[in-house]
Amino acid sequence: MGIQIEYLPLTALDCQPPSWQDKVLGAVSFGESADDLKGRHLHGHIPEIYLNAPVLAGSQFASEALLDDALNTEISQPLISDKHGQIRYRLGEHLLFGVISLDESPELTSPGGANTTPALQQVTEIAYQQIFALLDVLGYTHVYRFWNYMADINGNGADTQAGLERYRQFNIGRKNVFLQVGRAQGHQLPAACALGLRSGPLSIAFLAGKTPSVAIENPRQVKAYHYPEQYGPLTPSFSRATLAQLGQQLCLFISGTASIVGHETLHAGDIVGQTNETLVNLEAVVSEANRIQGGPVFDLSNACFRVYVRHAGDLDRIRETLRNHFNRQVKAVFVQADICREALLIEIEATVQQTTIVHSA
C-alpha cells in the first residue's frame, strides 16, 4: 500500500509504457487550449481532470499523476476503473481517485420561479453528494485531498443571492453536503484547494482511502472552518493539510496556501510580500506536522509545488522569491488562475512524502 506521485509534461502522460499506465490511479493536468489535447491517447479508463488554464512556467510538471505503489508487489491486484453517476474513478485495494465535472446549466435556476438557489451552489451539492455516496458504498471513507476548480471564482453572477460571491456560493454547497453526511468536524476535513479558471464547468478531483488520516492546522492561521461571518454565510470546509500513513509512506497533502495570518489577507498589492508570507505558512504547516509526528519527518526540499498566479506579469518576481527562499531553483509548475479572495495574488500547494522503514519484530 502506498502512493507514488510523478510530475510530467502534459503530452508525456500517454507516451508512458502500459506497465506504467496500469499503475496510474488518475491525474490532474493543466493546459491553455484544446490544442494541448491533440494527439492525446491516455487510456480512457484512467480518470484525468484536464483544466483549461495557462501554464506560465514549469510545463515539465504540468501533469500530476498519482500511481498506486502497491502494484509494485507480485501479489497485488490490478486497478479497477468504473463510473458512478457522473464520477469516473479508479481504485486499488486501499486507494481511490475520482473526477467529476458538472456544467452550471441554466435550467438549475429559474429567476422569479421557485428555485432561486445559485447554479454553482446546486452543482456543488450534486457533485459532493455523488462523491460521498460513492465512497460510502465502496468503503473508501477517508478523504485525503480535494481539488476544486470553477469559472469566475470571484465573480457575482446573475443568479447570485444578494450579490454573493461565487466562491461563497461554492462554500455553501460544499458545507451543506458535509453537514448532511456528518463530516463537518474539523478532524474529518481533508486538504483542499479552490481556484478560479477563465471558463469551464465545476471540476473536482479527489483522493480517498481506507486508512484514517490526521488533519493538520497552521498555528499562524484561524482554522478555515472557524472563519468569521465576513467571509461568507457558511465557512470553507477544509484543513490546512492532511497527514496520512499509506503503507510505509507518510504523505503530507498541503492545501492551497496563501498570504493569510489569523484570518486576514496580508500584503495587499505586494506580490513579493505575499509570496514570502505564503512560504512562511507552508513552513509552519510542515513544522506542525513534524511536531505531531515527534520529529523532523517532513521538509519542503523534496516537494514539487503547484503555484497559482493571478497576474502573469508577477511570474518573474515570484520565481525569484522562491529561488531566494530555497537557495535553488525549485520544482514547480506555475499556473495562471484566480485565487479565492480578490486581494490574494498567489496560492501554493504541495504534497510532501517521507518513506518510513517498518521493522519486523
Q: Enumerate the active-site residues.
A: 347
CA-closest candidate to residue 335, choices 311, 314, 308, 315 = 308
3-class state of residue 218 by DSSP: coil
How far is it, in rounded angstroms, from Cα 129 to Cα 29? 24
Go through the chain and tell me how many residues it has. 361
DSSP string, 101-144: EE---GGG--TTSS--S-HHHHHHHHHHHHHHHHHHHHT--EEE
**What single-letter DSSP state applies at residue 262?**
B
Q: Which residues contact 129 (CB under 8 A, 6 or more apart)?
A: 177, 180
Q: Where on the phi/psi map is residue 33: left (φ > 0), alpha (ψ -120 to 50), or beta?
A: beta
- The cell for 244 is 496520512
Residue found by looking up cell 490574494 in the block: 344
- The cell for 176 is 451543506
- The cell for 173 is 454547497
